[in-house]
Amino acid sequence: MKTVAVKNLVKRFKDKVAVDEVSFNINGGEVFGLLGPNGAGKTTVISMLTTLLQPTSGQAAVCGHDIVKADAAVRRAIGLVFQDTILDEDLSAYVNLDTHARLYRVPKEKASKRINELLSMVELADESKTKVGKFSGGMKRRLEIARGLIHRPRVLFLDEPTIGLDPKTRRMIWEHIIKLREHTDITILLTTHYLEEADTLCDRVAIMKNGRIVVCDSPQKLKHDLGGDLIRIELDRRDKRLEEKINSLPYVKKIKIRGNAINLTVDNGQKRAVELIPLIDTFPPTLKSMNLREPTLDDVFLYHTGERFSSSNDLH
């Protein structure tokens, strides 16, 4: 049984299809990411899987429980951290967690042990009596993750876990998520519009755009499937013969000319770059710069949607 199984899920609001025939499965213990620009439908998928929204059509099950017919069982099996901070700012970190433990009916002694464990895990043990209103954005986020774990859920949903945080704090949250992945068997579904975040944290990523899943696989596989490394050669002028020569090389898989620049997709980029430099020297144009990089998820996004990720993400 898949821990999360989603089949042809659709959510239609009055005049807009927010989620369009989305299907995916998540295995136990996996960290699964929904990656997409703002408005791609990620939060709507999470809202349906956590029983906050009713799907228009399609099916989904979490830990074997249907999200519509067995919503109470789903809610017992999951933890959720919302995109925006929802904490009782007037109350202490401990009381915030304790209220949740009570709602899930965690017995009193177990609860206090668990709260202290979780507070140490997210490095807030010293702040257990501090009012949450005094916390920084990163501390609040960590506390919310701890709260999401208080009832030992089997699946944890994180909606944009690092939105609005500075890069340093973001890395710290990542470390906590990686810790969870390594030390527990919890299944995590997170949404993000940060490419690097999906790349760093997720075992598998589903790229979403306009309510649809465009492609879904591990970040490594997605990048590998683009066919290899990217080399960009910048010259001082164009030269037809050189372009033809490079195009005829057996290891060049794709070639694109952009003005004075030649973009190549090759296997084994580091070795090829070294070979290319002397070859270019035998032709009249002067080599101005050469750039070698491995493909990123941005390239994956571009390949599958025809758009740069950053340009379809107008808020960031």
Of 19 and 206, which has the nearer Cβ to other proteins?
A: 19
Which residues, in sequence order, are CB contacts of 282 under 8 Å at separation 6+? none
How far is CA 268 from each of CA 199, 224, 229, 252, 276, rounded to the nearest angstrom? Answer: 21, 11, 7, 10, 12
Phi, psi (rounded to 5 degrees) for 290: -140, 135
Residue of 54, 268, 270, 286 that binds other proteins (CB under 8 A): 54
Question: What is the token pair recorded at 193?
Answer: 């519009």
Q: Which stretch binds other proteins (CB under 8 A): 79-87, 174-182, 198-206, 225-233?
A: 79-87
CA angle 161, 95, 101 (to 5 degrees): 75
User: Does 216 participate in binding other proteins (rule CB under 8 A)?
Assistant: no
Helix boundaries (H) for the chain: 42-49, 71-77, 93-103, 108-121, 137-148, 167-183, 195-201, 219-224, 240-248, 269-281, 297-305
Of 153 and 228, which has the nearer Cβ to other proteins?
A: 153
In angstroms, give the least distance from the CB of 127 to other proteins. Answer: 16
User: Does 51 participate in binding other proteins (rule CB under 8 A)?
Assistant: yes
User: Does 53 participate in binding other proteins (rule CB under 8 A)?
Assistant: yes
User: Does 114 participate in binding other proteins (rule CB under 8 A)?
Assistant: no
Q: Which stretch binds other proteins (CB under 8 A): 22-30, 103-111, 208-216, 279-287?
A: 103-111
Residue of 69, 90, 110, 126 that binds other proteins (CB under 8 A): 90
Asked whether 101 and 150 are in contact (CB, 8 A), the reply is yes
Site of interaction with other proteins (CB under 8 A): 47, 50-54, 72, 75-76, 78, 80, 82, 84, 86, 88, 90-91, 95, 99-100, 102-105, 131
